[in-house]
Amino acid sequence: MPVLVMKFGGTSVATLDRIKRAAKRVGVEVAKGYDVIVIVSAMSGETNKLVGFVNETSPLFDAREYDAVVSSGENVTAGLMALTLQEMDVPARSWQGWQVPVETTSAHSSARIEAIPPGNILAKFAEGMKVAVVAGFQGVSPEGRITTLGRGGSDTTAVAFAAAFEAERCDIYTDVDGIYTTDPRIADKARKLDKIAFEEMLELASLGAKVLQTRSVELAMRYKVKLRVLSSFEEMDDAAGTLVCDEEEIVESKAVNGVAYSRDEAKMTLISVADRPGIAAAIFGPLSDAGVNVDMIVQNISEEGRTDMTFSCPVDQVARAEKAMADAKASGDINFHDLVADTDVAKVSIVGIGMRSHAGVAAKMFSTLRDENINIKVITTSEIKVSVLIDRKYMELAVQSLHDAFALEKAG
């Protein structure tokens, strides 16, 4: 039998009624002849509640016990989904990560999947099971302890299962009906895309679009998993949602296909750093060791052996970055005059595989922002994206004006 993977996010299984609605969708696919692997998240709000319990009980918690607690939300959903399917006379059972097993690294709360041996589930399919309901977000370490994959990890679980079982497709059910050219809450002209290339989706996910976890898109691209994003609240339709696929499957691509944003950015500048060989390593090594996720980097022209180094990072990592730089200065590894943090910035990006063959895209972006009197603080580019840091108060205006400038409301 062909295998289909269906993943239901927290809002899609938030209540017993919604679990029943999701189960009906699964039943339709079983009736089409599929063996189905269902990946479920915890019911909406449950993981936050469990994290709160852990923090209240033990502020400096043991990460292994943290995983044991926060992974339990998915176990509840998996059991309830299996029971609901059984009530519909669909042969189903629940699976926890360790039962599959989903083999992961030992990095608790941010583990990575190493392997998913398919034997146990395939044996049950051979015995007549039609649906394996798997608790997402969780796995088992080499030491036999429960691990979790980080927030949004159920997306990664779903894609990893689709790869391991060579599934025909992986459907991600969420509270939105697909991938949009930008956030519809900001730009009312935002258009749902029928298809989007893996590379574009990867950039959008990493730049702030929260529809899919970045790691899940990386996996889908690596293993060529056909990924479809669709709403669990819309009517069932085989053509619904957005297909995330290979670039070759998209006949004609516009220069820009989406505008992404992230409001939780900070710009940090080391003023008057000694400009010498190895200075970048001396700065960004300690930041990496401190777990600071550096994004944009700009170095000014050197004058009299001194330079300024600017970088961006998530706003909640500013204190960590400041401590790492202070420690590096105290140890004599780097010498700088001051560290200035601007926590009132946002990142706005345009993304499109069509940029490879269209000239003048960046120039159009910059002139559009100029016409709106929006000052650009930092610029970075890649083959298929241009990102800028701007004052946060202009973020929505920038997104709307760029969406209009590239006519993203129009298809083709």
Mean pLDDT by 10 residues, the chain (412 residues): 95 96 96 97 95 92 95 97 98 97 94 96 97 97 95 92 96 88 90 90 77 86 92 75 86 84 93 91 94 90 88 93 95 92 95 87 96 95 92 96 94 72
Distances (CA, A) of 150 to 130, 139, 141: 29, 11, 14
What CA–CA distance (Å, rounded) separates 34 from 37? Answer: 9
| Cβ neighbourhood burial of 412 (10 Å; 0-12, 13-18, 19+) | exposed
Phi, psi of 17 (to 5 degrees): -65, -40
What CA–CA distance (Å, rounded) separates 200 from 385? Answer: 9
**In this predicted structure, what is the pLDDT of residue 234?**
79
**In this predicted structure, what is the pLDDT of residue 208?**
60
What does the angle CA 101 – CA 103 – CA 104 come to, to the nearest 5 degrees? Answer: 145
For the beta carbon of residue 406, count every other beta carbon within 10 angstroms: 22
What's the first-to-final CA gap in the chain, in angstroms? 37
* Cα dihedral: 230, 231, 237, 238 (round 10): 20
What CA–CA distance (Å, rounded) separates 148 from 396? Answer: 34
Query: How would you label 325-334 residue by residue, b for 16+ Cβ within 10 Å and e otherwise?
Result: beebeeeebb
Nearest residue to 350 (alpha-carbon basis) of 360, 342, 340: 360
For the entire predicted model, the pTM comes to: 0.81
**In this predicted structure, what is the pLDDT of residue 233?**
84
**In this predicted structure, what is the pLDDT of residue 60?**
86
What CA–CA distance (Å, rounded) separates 138 from 148? Answer: 4
Q: Are residues 67 and 74 in contact, defined by beta-carbon separation less than 8 angstroms?
A: no
